[in-house]
Structure 1
């Protein structure tokens, strides 16, 4: 990550978490050409899921927004682990999956947690294409999962 991004994280009072080890036959991130593809990130802290349940039933939209932000920070850490500290130039695409209670239609507001974090960290280079998808269940019972494609510099 560039020193400018490191400075922005610090000014936001944020630090990159440790990259969570995968729980399956995949890697957290792959650097290919000018892109870094990050596997879906669920809200973890110290290797443990921090919340479970469905948004709109067990988890409020505001809590889910914060969880989405946590997932985005984890995605940033995974990308930096393969692209190097100077290797990330911006965000290309975000896909957010929200475990949704029946009738919950606020998925875009939940995924805004990730989008807002990337805009705060990268500025204009954090603007991205995005999908926000409601699903019945997510791995480990997570309420939110965020998948990201970053632009790599050099």
Structure 2
């Protein structure tokens, strides 16, 4: 079953590549690796939520935002690789969480991305990861995800 079919089983699909919000490209391929730029939780061109996690945004809402960030990163990868089936390994995920003072559950928020990648790619979706709390993200987004994947 293809990654797109697995996503469809989950009631999800890969969106159109999100337009950059500054001077950069969504992803760059070098050799057998694709590096994505940071992806925000944009759905149909709009941020799903704004604000800090633990204040204006609940951890559950942020978990859903992280999943959308991962879908947007997969869209950027697919644009470079041609199809998600070209992914042989998700190597690394870096997640940034705009955090209210005292909020320390960044790993659980970024699980929204990690769990999705595991469901879609199985063992090849298991990856190294960082989950970092930050003061603010572009456009007041609560979450931002970047990925490195290996492709054939």
- The match for 1:143 is 142
**Per-residue displacement from partner, 1:58-114 (whole Å, max 9, x unpaired)?**
111011000000100110011000111142222100000000000000000000000
Query: Distance between the aligned counterparts of 2:2 and 2:19, measured in 1?
Result: 27
Give the CA deviation at 1:33.
Answer: 0.6
Matches of 1:45 and 1:87 in 2, distance apart?
A: 24
- Matched residue of 2:38: which SS? strand
Matches within 5 A, 1:32-111: 32-85=30-83, 86-111=85-110
Task: Give secondary structure in 1 for the equivalent of 2:103.
Answer: coil
Unaligned runs of 5+ in 2: none
Q: CA deviation at 1:25?
A: 1.2
Structure 2 partner of 1:4? 2
Q: Which secondary structure state, in structure 1, belongs to the residue aligned with residue 131 of structure 2?
A: strand
Is the Cα contact below 8 Å between 2:4 and 2:14 reproduced in 1?
no
- Measured on the aligned residues, the alpha-carbon RMSD in Å equals 1.0
- Within the candidate set 16, 20, 23, 1:22 is matched to 20
Mapped partners of 2:40, 2:31: distance in 1: 26
1:13, CA displacement in angstroms?
A: 1.6
Secondary structure in 2 matching 1:116: helix
Residues 80-89 or 63-72, more deviating: 80-89
SS class of match (1:96) = strand
TM-score if structure 2 supplies the norm length?
0.96
